[in-house]
Structure 1
Amino acid sequence: MPDRENPGPSALSRLRSARTLRLQLLHSLHKLVRPVLVVLPAVGLLLGFGMRVGGSGQWSESIWAAATVPVLGALLIQIVASLRRGDVGLDIVAALSMTGALFFGEYLAAVVVALMYAGGQYLESFAERRASREMKALLARAPRTAIRYNDGRLEEVALDDIAAKDRLLVRQGDVVPVDGQVAAGVAILDQSALTGETIPARKAAGETVMSGVTNVGDTFDLSATHSAADSTYAGIVRLVEAAQRSKAPMARLADRFALAFLAVTIVLAGGAWLWSGDPIRALAVLVVATPCPLILAVPVAIVSGVSRAAKSGVLIKGGRALEMLARVRALVIDKTGTLTHGQARIVNVHPMGLPPDTLLQLAASLDQASRHVIARALVAEAQAKELDLLVPAAVEEIPGEGLEGTINGRRVAVGGVRFVSQRVPKAAGAFADGHYPVGSVAVAVAIDGEPAGVLILADALRSESAHVIDSLRRLGIARIVLASGDRRDVAEAVTVGLHLDAVYSDLTPDRKIAIVQAEKRCGPVMMIGDGVNDAPALAAADLGVAMGAKGTAASAEAADVVLLVDRLDKIPVAIRAARWSRRIALQSVYAGIGLSAIGMVVAAFGYLTPVQGALIQEAIDVAVILNALRALWGSETS
C-alpha cells in the first residue's frame, strides 16, 4: 500500500486524471464565459436604446450599468491574476475608464467601453481555440496500455502498472511501451522517431530495446527492465515539460506599449482634473484612452494571419507563435523526415543482365509475402511504376534477413547481401565488390541460382530542401544548422550541397536542446523536426515547427507551428504571411495610439464629453479594424 508521501503508479495516475479534469472544467468554463461577456453589453446597449425609443428612458442607464458590471468584474479578476505574475497590461486603462464611468454616472460610455473590451478579448482567444480544434482532429493519441503475461495468460494493463521484469507481448505495429530486452523472437524495430535512422534495426534475444520505437516486424516478447515512468520515452516527455516551463512567455503585442501608455494616460487625466477641477474631463480622457484599437485590431490581424497560413497548410497555434514566426533569425533543423522523406526509397538500381524494371518487378513480387518495411518499400516503388506484380509461391522467410520463393516458375531470393550470398554461392563475389552510398541499404536479388542485381534504398533528400534553405536565407534567416540523431557520415552525405552553417550528428534529445540554446545568441530560434526525439528541442526553441502529416504526436504537441502537409516549402510562405500580419498589426497599434492621443488631448481641454469620447473611440476602432483585415490579403515579399 503506497503511503501519502510516496504514492504508487495507480495513485499518481488518479492524481493526474483529477488534475486534468479540473483543468478541462476550468477551460470549458472559460469558453462559456467569454461569449457571454460579449453578448451582455451588446444586448444591454441595444435594450437601453430601445427603452429610450419606447418612452421608458428612465430604465436605460440602469440597464447599461448592469450590462457593464459583469465585464468589469471579469476584467478586475484578470488584472489581479496578471499583477500576481508581474504582468502590467493595457487592460488597466479599460478598467479605470469603466469604473470611472460607472462612478460618475456616465453609463452609456461605460457600456460602450465594456462592449469593445469584451469583443477584443473574444477575438484574441479565437485563434487559440481554432488551432486547438484542428489539433484534436490532426493528432493521434499515444498508447496507454500494454499486453502483459500473467500466469500463462495475456492481460491488457495500464502503462503505469508495468514493473521491471514483467514479460510483455509486443505486436506488429505496436509502440514499445517500456525499456527492456528481447525475451523471445526477433524484433524488427523502426527507431526513426528516437534516433533518426530510417532503416529498421534487427534485435535478437537478449538485446536492448528502447521505449517509443515501433515494431515493424513479427510479434516478439519483451522483458521489461524499467517501469514506464523510468523509460526512455518518459524521459523525453520530461525534457519537453522542462523545456516548456523554462521558455519565457511572449508578451502580447499591445502590452509592450502598456507601461508608457498607461503612465501618459494617468498623467493627462489627472492633470486635466487638477487643472479644471472637473472629474468628468479626467473620465473623458480615460474613455478616449481605452485601448480598444489595440485590444481589437491586433487580434483581428492575428486571426487573419492564422487563417491565411491555415489555407496554405500551416497550423499556427495563436498570436504569440505568429509573431515569433515573423521574427526568427536562426534555424535548427532535423534531418530524418524533415530535410529527408523519412522513409527508404530506391535511389539506384544495379542490374546484372536484366532490365531494371524486370529486376524490380520480380523482387517486389516476392516481397509481397513479407511484412518487413524494406519489402513494403519495394512493393510501393513497383506499384508506383505500375509494374504487374506476380503471385509468389513456396515462400520461405528469415525475419529481418530476406526471403526466397518461386515467381512464375523462377526461383527468386531477395534480402541482404549476406542472406542472398548464403543461398546463392555464386552471388557472393558479385555482390561483395559493390560500393554503396553512406546510409543506404543494399537489397540483393538472385534468380535461378544466379546473381541478378542490387537495389539501393536510402532516405533521400526532399526535392525542395535546397530551394527552401536558400529562400530562408533571402528572408533574413542568418544561421541555419542541422541537428540530427543519425551518424555523422550519414548526416554529412545527405546534406552535401545545402548551404548550412554547421552539421551536428549523433545527438540525444538533451544535446539537441543544448544546440537550440546555443543558437539563440543569433536571435530568435526556429526548430523544425518530426520525431519524438525532436519534441524537447521543439519546446525549448523560441518557435517549434513540426511536420504534422507524418510526424509524431509528441512533436506536434510540443511545437508552436504544425505543417499539415509534409512540404518544407510551406515554411517561407508561412513566414511571409506572419510578417505581413505583424506589419499590419503594428500599423494598427501606431495608428490607434496616435489617434487616441489626439483625442485624449482634446478631451483634456474639455472639448469632448465621455459619451463623445466613446463614439470617437468607436470610429477609431472601425478604422484600425478595417486596416487589420488587410492581413487576409496582400503579401510580404521580404
Structure 2
Amino acid sequence: MPNAAPAASPEVSIWRRLWRRRQLAIALLAIVGIAIHLLLRFGTGASPGSYNIPLWITLAIGGIPLILELLDKVIHLEFGADLLAGISIVASALLDEYLAGSIVVLMLSGGEALESFAVGRASAVLQALAKRLPSVAHRRSGSALEDVEVDSINVGDVIVILPHEVSPVDGIVIEGHSVMDESYLTGEPYMMSKTPGVSVMSGAINGDGALTIRAERQAIDSRYAKIMEVMRKSEEQRPRMRRLADQLGAFYTPLALIIAGIAWYLSGDATRFLAVIVVATPCPLLIAIPVAIIGSISLAAQMGVIVRQPAALEQIDRCRTVIFDKTGTLTYGEPRLYEQWNAPGSDPIETLALVASLERYSKHPLAAAIQKAADATVAAYEVSEASELPGQGMSGLVHGRQVRITSRKQLVQQQPNADLPPQQGGLECVILVDEQPAAVYFFRDAPRREGKRFIDHLGPRHQISKLMLVTGDRESEARFLAEQVGIAEVHFNQTPEQKLDLVRAETAANATIFVGDGINDAPSLTAATVGVAFGQNSDVTTEAAAVVVLDSSLETVDKLLHIGRRMRAIALESAVGGIALSMIGMLIAAAGWLPPVAGAISQEVIDVIVVLNALRAAFPPRELTDYDK
C-alpha cells in the first residue's frame, strides 16, 4: 500500500512502536511477578527470600530503565510529575516494600499501554482510509496487463481500473466510459461520470465499466495520500495541552515531596514518606489530557472534520473573532443560472443541450448549475471527447459539434472584436460552438439556508464578538450576501495579500477563526489563530489549515466549536479532578491510615478513573449543535 509522506522519520516511528511494545511487556511482567509473589507468599508459605524474587525481577527490569530515564531528565532540569514515580520505586526498594514498588511499575507501564490503546482507537478512521486503497494496480504494457505494486507506478503509466475496483492513483481517463463514487473526498452523494479526458481521483470506486487512465501523480502525491498524511500528522503531533499537564506536574511534584517529608518528619516513619509518594505518582493521570485530545480528534473525524493541528481544539473555544471567506463558506458554492444571453442566430435550447451534455464530465462549480437548468428541458447528447485543463476552461466534441466553455477575458484575448453583452455582478461563462460565440450564462451563488441562524447564534452561544466577511468579489455581491446572513463588516475586492494583512491585524488584537474554501486562502488560513478550510476543493489539504471540514457545512463548523469546548472541559476535569483525588489520598497516607501497597492500589484506581473519564471525549454526546437548522 502506498504511504503518504510520513509525519516522522521511519527511525522515530520504529522507536515509538518498540517503546509501546516494551511498556506492554513490562506491564505483563509486573502482573506475572505480582501474581507469583502472592501465590508463593500466601499459597505456599515460602520464605521472604523466595517470594520476593519475582518482585526483584520486576523492579530490576521495569524500574531501573525508568530511573535512568528520570535521572537524565533531572540532569536537564526537567522536573515532571513522573519524577515521583522514580522516587517511589527507589524508596520502596530501600524500605523493602517491593510489592508497592512493583505496583508502581505496573501503574506506569500500564498507563503507557492504555495510552497506546487510546491512540489506536483514535486512529480507527485513518486505518479505515488506509484499507480502502489497493496495494496492486493493473499496468498496461503494450497489449498485456501486469499487476504491479502501487508504489511503483510512475507519472505517465497507463493503468486499467476494472469494474468495482478502487482507483489506485490520480489520473486522466484515456479509454472507456463509467461512473465513479468520489463521495469520500467531495462529500457529494452522487456518482461522477467518466469519459476520455476527465480526471479520476485515487480512492474513488469504479462503477460497471472498465476505465483506462494515464497516471498524473505517483501514489505518494495523490489527493488520497494527502488526506491520509494530514490525519497521520494530526495524531503524531504532541498536543499543546500536554505541556499544560507538565506545568501542573511542575508544582504538584514539589508539593507532594513537601507533604511526604512532613509526614516522615512528624511520624519518624520512613514508610509514610513512601506511602505519600506512591499515592502521589500521577504519570498515568497526566496521560488523561492527551487521551482527551486524541479522543476529540477521533470524534471530529467521525463528524467529517480532520484536525491537523491538535492545539486548534484547545484554541478554538477562546477565539472571539470569526472571519469568513464568501464563496463556498457562507454560500453553497453552487451558483444558480439566473440569466442567459444568446447570440443572434443561436438556438438557446440547442446551445444549452450541448453545454449541459459536456458539463456532465466537469467538477467546476458552474457545471452543476448548468445541468440543473437543463435537466427538465433539454435532451442529453453523446460526448465523444472532453478536456478540462486548470484555468483553460472546458472543451469537447458533442453531437458532432465542437463546444468550448471559457471566460470573457480569454475570449477577448483571442477575439478582440467579439460581440458580448455588458458584464454583470456575479459569475459568468462564455459558450463557443464551432469556435463562434453562441451564449453567455450569468450565475449567482445563493446564501446557505442555515447561514443567518448560524451567524446569529455565534455571539450568544460561543461568545463571538466580531464577525467579518472578506472576499475578492465585487461590492454588490459581497453586500448582498452580508445582508442575507447578518454580517455588518464587509471587505470586498480583496486580493490574497490584502486578506492576509487584514487577518494578521485582527489576530494581533484577538484570537481569530478564518473560514475559507482553501482556494487562494492559504496565507489567511495560516495567519489566523485557527484556520478552518472547507473540503470541497483540492487545496484544502495543504499545510495552511489547522482544521479541514470535509462536508463543507456550517453545521459541522458548529460541531467543531462544541468539540473544542467539550475537549478542554474534559481534559481539565480529568487533570484537576485526578490531582484533587490524589491530594486526598496523600493526606490519608500522611496520617498513617494508608500503607504503601494500599496507596499504590488506590492511586491505580484514581488513574484508571480519570483516564476513563478522558476517554469520554471520543464518544459523541446526544447533541453537538445548539442552533435551529
Give the CA deviation at 1:565.
2.2
Q: Please tell me the residue identity of whatever aligns with 1:349.
A: E
What are the superposed Cα offsets for residues 529-555 of structure 1, whole Å, 9 maximum, x if unpaired? Answer: 342643344344333323345342653
Alignment of 1:599-614 (within 5 A): 599-614=585-600
Structure 1 counterpart SS, 2:485? coil
Structure 2 CA distance for aligned equivalents of residues 100 and 403 of structure 1: 79
2:514 partner SS? strand
CA distance in 2, matches of 1:394, 1:600: 78
Structure 1 pair 391–418 and aligned structure 2 pair: CA distance change class (3 A)? farther
Q: CA deviation at 1:52?
A: 3.8
Is the 1:402–1:419 contact (alpha carbons within 8 Å) kept by the matching residues of 2? no
Distance 1:372 1:133, change over 3 A: closer
Deviations for 1:87-121, whole angstroms, at most 9, x for unmatched residues? 75433333333343344343332333333334444
The alpha-carbon deviation at position 283 of structure 1 amounts to 1.6
Provide the TM-score with structure 1 as the length reference. Answer: 0.64
8 Å CA contact retained: 1:441, 1:457: yes
Aligned to 1:598: 584
- Counterparts of 1:2-81 in structure 2, within 5 Å, are 23-53=9-39, 55=44, 57-69=51-63, 72-73=66-67, 75-76=69-70, 79=73
Displacement after TM superposition at 1:49 (Å)? 1.3
Please list the CA deviations of residues 321-367 of structure 1 after superposition, one character each: whole Å capped at 9, or x if unmatched: 3322343333233334433455x63331347799x994674342574
User: Contact between 2:37 and 2:55, CA under 8 Å: does it hold in 1?
Assistant: no
The answer for the alignment partner of 1:349 in structure 2 is 339
CA distance, structure 2, for counterparts of residue 479 and residue 364 of structure 1: 43
- Secondary structure in 1 matching 2:20: helix
Q: Would the alpha carbon gap of residues 265 and 113 (structure 1) be closer, same or farther in structure 2, given more than 3 Å must change? A: same
**3-state secondary structure, aligned to 2:323:** strand
Q: Deviations over 1:492-524 (max 9, x none)?
A: 454443333533456566655544443335643
| Residues 375-386 of structure 1 aligned to structure 2 (within 5 Å) | 376=367, 380-381=371-372
Cα pair 2:30 2:106 within 8 Å, conserved: no
Residue 76 to residue 503, structure 1, CA distance change in 2 (3 Å): farther
Contact 2:351 2:438 (C-alpha < 8 Å) held by counterparts: no
Match of 2:525 among 538, 559, 571: 538
* Distance in 1 separating the partners of 2:54 and 2:533: 53
Q: Does the 8 Å CA contact 1:315/1:564 hold for their aligned counterparts?
A: yes
Q: Aligned partners of 1:248, 1:303: CA distance in 2, in Å? A: 9
Q: Which AA in structure 2 matches 1:497?
A: Q
Partners of 1:302 and 1:101 in 2: how far apart? 34
2:104 and 2:600 in contact (8 A); partners too: yes
State the one-letter code of the partner of 2:277.
Answer: L
Q: Secondary structure at the match of 1:545?
A: strand
Partner of 1:169: none
User: How far apart are the structure 1 equivalents of 2:7 and 2:318?
Assistant: 36
Equivalents in 2 of 1:24, 1:79: separation in Å? 25
CA distance in 1, matches of 2:356, 2:625: 50
Change (3 A) 1:502 1:63: farther
For 1:65 and 1:512, locate their aligned partners in 2 and report how far apart those are by CA, in whole Å. Answer: 60
Distance 1:47 1:496, change over 3 A: same
* Structure 1 residues 170-181: aligned runs within 5 Å: none
The alignment status of 1:550 with 2:541, answered yes or no, reads: no
**Counterpart-to-counterpart distance in 1, 2:581 and 2:595:** 17
Partner of residue 295, structure 1: 286
Structure 1 residue 40: Cα displacement? 1.0
Structure 2 unaligned regions, length at least 5: 45-49, 134-153, 156-169, 173-237
- Structure-to-structure mapping, 1:311-460, within 5 angstroms: 311-317=302-308, 320-341=311-332, 345-350=335-340, 358=349, 361-364=352-355, 367=358, 376=367, 380-381=371-372, 387-391=378-382, 428=419, 432=421, 436=424, 438-443=425-430, 454-460=440-446
User: Separation in 2 of the partners of 1:580 and 1:394?
Assistant: 52
Q: CA deviation at 1:602?
A: 1.4
What fraction of aligned residue pairs are identical, expressed as a percent? 33
Give the letter aligned to residue 290 of structure 1: T
- What secondary structure does 2:337 align onto? strand
Distance 1:123-1:566 versus aligned 2 partners, 3 A rule: farther
* Aligned match of 1:186: none
3-state SS in 2 of match to 1:566: coil
Taking structure 1 as reference, are residues 612 and 572 closer, same or farther at Cα in structure 2, changes over 3 Å only?
same
- Residue 189 of structure 2 corresponds to none
Question: 1:518 maps to which residue?
Answer: 505
What is the deviation of 1:470? Answer: 2.9
Cα 1:106–1:386 shift into 2, 3 Å: farther
- Aligned-partner Cα distance in 2 for 1:316–1:583: 18
Does the 8 A contact of 1:326 with 1:579 survive in 2? yes
Return the letter of the residue paired with 1:362: A
Work out the CA distance in 2 between the residues paired with 1:508 and 1:132.
39
Once the two structures are TM-superposed, the CA of residue 570 in structure 1 deviates from its matched residue by: 0.4
Summarize the alignment of residues 266-305 of structure 1 with structure 2, pairs less than 5 Å apart. Answer: 266-292=257-283, 294-305=285-296
Quote the Cα distance in structure 2 between the aligned partners of 1:250 and 1:514. Answer: 29
> What pairs with 1:573-588 in structure 2 (closer than 5 Å)?
573-588=559-574
**Alpha-carbon distance, 1:562 to partner:** 2.3
| Structure 1 residues 112-139: Cα deviation after superposition (integer angstroms, max 9, x where no partner) | 3333334444555667777778569599
C-alpha separation in 1, matches of 2:362 and 2:310:
45
2:563 aligned partner, one-letter code: A
Q: Do the aligned partners of 2:405 and 2:429 also contact (CA within 8 Å) in 1?
A: no
Residues 124 and 359 of structure 1, relative CA distance in 2, 3 Å threshold: farther
| Deviation larger for 28-37 or 464-473 | 464-473
8 Å contact from structure 2 (residues 286, 575) kept in 1: no
Separation in structure 2 between the aligned mates of residue 567 and residue 504 of structure 1, nearest angstrom: 23
Amino acid at match of 1:66: A
> In the aligned structure 2, how far is the partner of 1:270 from the partner of 1:570?
52
| Structure 1 unmatched ranges of 5 or more | 1-18, 141-155, 158-171, 175-246
Aligned to 2:139: none
Paired residues for 1:474-513 under 5 Å: 474-484=461-471, 491-500=478-487, 502-505=489-492, 512-513=499-500
Q: 1:492 to 1:630 in 2, by over 3 A?
A: same
Quick check: 1:334–1:528 contact (8 Å CA) kept in 2? yes
Matched residue of 2:441: which SS? strand
* One-letter amino acid of the structure 2 residue matched with residue 58 of structure 1: N
Equivalents in 1 of 2:407, 2:95: separation in Å? 87
1:136-155 alignment runs, 5 A limit: 137=129
1:617 matched to 2:617? The reply is: no
Offset from partner CA, 1:226-272 (integer Å, 9 cap, x none) = xxxxxxxxxxxxxxxxxxxxx99555443342333223212111222
Q: Which amino acid aligns with 1:321?
A: A
Q: Within 2, Cα distance between the matches of 1:595 and 1:394?
A: 71
What secondary structure sits across from 2:487 in the alignment?
coil
Counterparts of 2:383 and 2:32, CA distance in 1:
77
Q: Do the aligned residues in 1 keep the contact of 2:256 with 2:276 (CA within 8 Å)?
A: yes
> Aligned with 1:608: secondary structure?
coil
Aligned to 2:225: none
Query: What's the secondary structure of 1:497's corresponding residue?
Result: helix
- For 2:397 and 2:12, locate their aligned partners in 1 and report how far apart those are by CA, in whole Å: 62
Aligned equivalent of 1:472 = 458
Distance in 2 (alpha carbons) for counterparts of 1:483 and 1:401: 26
The answer as to whether partners of 1:51 and 1:60 remain within 8 angstroms in 2 is yes
